[in-house]
Chain A
């Protein structure tokens, strides 16, 4: 069957033509009503299928002309339209002698099915055609005119919508003529480039994009039909622009390009955002991948990414770590601890956690780490990922453990040594008691029996014998004194120290007055600095002071005017107490020997004593955390100075 198609839209026309030719028909195509009328007269088709709205001559006019033509009147004429549904149109079409009025469905397949049925009806002569010439009544013509104007209105409204879309689009739109000059540009376009719409009209777009880039767009359009790409441009003020550009041509019904449409999107902000993102990714990479601290990033799904330092720490390759959970990598004893810490983060109780735990290396050995972790959340508070940093502190922990062990051993050794010392001390004490008791027992015997000898048998003894017995008694007495001193010395170690405020000045004064009573005939001047108060054991300090003042009193015994001073000075931030006399003194070179037990620098006959006194004083001073020293010269007196561990 020979079919004439009148259709101004090139796409619709081609679709129809190809399909009908495929079905075995001979197809004649026309781009408008006038074209169709000429071709109908020339080819005399068996069926005419026409759109309504067409340039030059519309479908209704075409139908009227065909039905006025005697030779064409009998050919079935079929309208179709996709744009308008009005019963008036249908009535007009039929009164003009059309055989059918098809409402064109959106889907081309369905349209083709309907058209197929019409063609079948045409072949079987089932389509009515007018017998005589078609009269075009006034009423119908008026209908025709109003119908057209309605369609025009419709088109105008559509155009208005398109114009609104064009003007208000956030995307910059620009329509070019074939020479590349701007015919239309919208506000967004003007805004991107900084020109007003009026300034741009008639300007070559190459001024905005550059000759070469625009040439590249045209080439791509010729080859592929569309263009998509990024391009840099320049605004009116000269600011560089990053643009995403889409372009497509507008073609006429013959397929000729009549204009080009360019769509610009300002990518500067996006590019900036991308750059920032890349920058922060680089930073992230720097902090994550290349960090010497082990790092891991864990999604709530459990998917984990770790850095090289993490892998090294645990002795795995990155591939081997794939799919391993943290629980598998954690020392079994520390899994619960880790879980509790993670829950603190998840519950929002804390923003960050830090604790020490053990991981297991690939070889099964433990690694102590100092772990820092935080949980990133999105704006709604949903967990995004855990960021964890790990520092290997195995060496530190081992060192600490070693120090603890060493300390424990040291303490153990100190305890043992202290126990040994304590035992030795107790033995020594027991020994010295026992010695002094056992020594004293026969001594008391000697004393008692020699006295008995004098008292019971005195008459039998001559003068010399009585003198000898007296000697025996006095020697026994001397030994008794010696033993008393030894006993006192050993008691010092045993006595507990009761620290209190001790008025040394008052103590010294009391001792001085006792001493003076023992030798009323001597001229002794005591100078005691008032108000000297020390922290110490009153009983022990009294023993010490007694010994020092005793000595001063004793060794100044040969001075016609003895002078004994007790006072206080300061040295190196410490209080220093001193006892000074103007007595016999001693050779300073021998001062170091003074404080040893039984060390005497003078003859007993000259200055009686046991040689224990200063040893006792030194021991008391040491028990107070102080020290004692002496300065003297022969016949020029002596000064004994001591501290009691007090800061001044």
Chain B
């Protein structure tokens, strides 16, 4: 079973995305802050990470860069969650090493397909 780390501060959003992931056969780990997300990523070595870019303690791209510089190296897929209003940031996020992005708020009917698409493209 693939292990996924979700870094998201909003508990409702966290519940919804983890529900959808679990329902589709993923094992989930949850981190409500950027700091905890980095710690878990280094400790648990998940198969991929879903990262909310708007976090209360640090900028999502800082989290992204920190993980990419860490010993778990650049191989791990990181999927950013961005709102349409932040669309200008997407190119920057891709340049900073994120694997793909999904739009926030997530579409329950299509989000799993999107995630599989991003992971599949990479593989």
A and B: interacting chains: yes
**A contacts, CB < 8 Å to B:** 430, 433-434, 437, 440-445, 447-449, 451-452, 487
**Is A441 in contact with B108, judged by CB distance below 8 angstroms?**
no
Chain B residues with Cβ below 8 Å from A448 are 16, 19-20, 108
**Of B23, B83, B85, B106, which one neighbours A444 at CB under 8 angstroms?**
B106
**Of B16, B83, B84, B85, which one neighbours A445 at CB under 8 angstroms?**
B16
Chain B residues with Cβ below 8 Å from A445 are 12, 16
A404 to B4, CA, bound (A): 67
Distance from A484 Cβ to chain B, minimum over Cβ atoms (Å): 12
Q: A437-B83, A443-B105, A447-B108 are in contact. List 5 more A-B contacts (CB 8 A).
A: A437-B105, A441-B12, A444-B108, A451-B108, A452-B19
A448 to B110, CA, bound (A): 11
Chain B residues with Cβ below 8 Å from A451 are 108
A/B interface sample: 20 pairs, CB < 8 A: A430-B85, A433-B84, A437-B83, A437-B85, A440-B105, A441-B10, A441-B12, A441-B105, A443-B105, A444-B16, A444-B105, A444-B106, A444-B107, A444-B108, A447-B108, A448-B19, A448-B20, A449-B16, A452-B19, A487-B84
**Is A441 in contact with B85, judged by CB distance below 8 angstroms?**
no
Chain A residues with Cβ below 8 Å from B66 are none
Chain A CB within 10 A, most for which of B19, B23, B108: B108
A281 to B104, CA, bound (A): 95
B70 within 8 A of A: no
A447 to B84, CA, bound (A): 20
The A-B contact count (CB < 8 A) is 35
Distance from B37 Cβ to chain A, minimum over Cβ atoms (Å): 20
Distance from A109 Cβ to chain B, minimum over Cβ atoms (Å): 123
Chain A residues with Cβ below 8 Å from B16 are 444-445, 448-449
A445 to B109, CA, bound (A): 11
**Of B23, B84, B107, which one neighbours A437 at CB under 8 angstroms?**
B84
Distance from B23 Cβ to chain A, minimum over Cβ atoms (Å): 8
A595 to B10, CA, bound (A): 38
A443 to B16, CA, bound (A): 12
A72 to B23, CA, bound (A): 185
A437 to B10, CA, bound (A): 14
Task: Give the top 5 A-B pairs by smallest Cβ distance, nearest first.
Answer: A448-B108, A441-B105, A433-B85, A444-B105, A440-B105
Chain A residues with Cβ below 8 Å from B10 are 441
**Is A441 in contact with B19, judged by CB distance below 8 angstroms?**
no
Distance from A71 Cβ to chain B, minimum over Cβ atoms (Å): 156
Q: Which residue of B lies closest to A437 (CB)?
A: B83
A-contact 0/1 string along B14-35, CB 8 Å cutoff: 0010011001000000000000
Chain B CB within 10 A, most for which of A430, A441, A447: A441
A452 to B24, CA, bound (A): 13
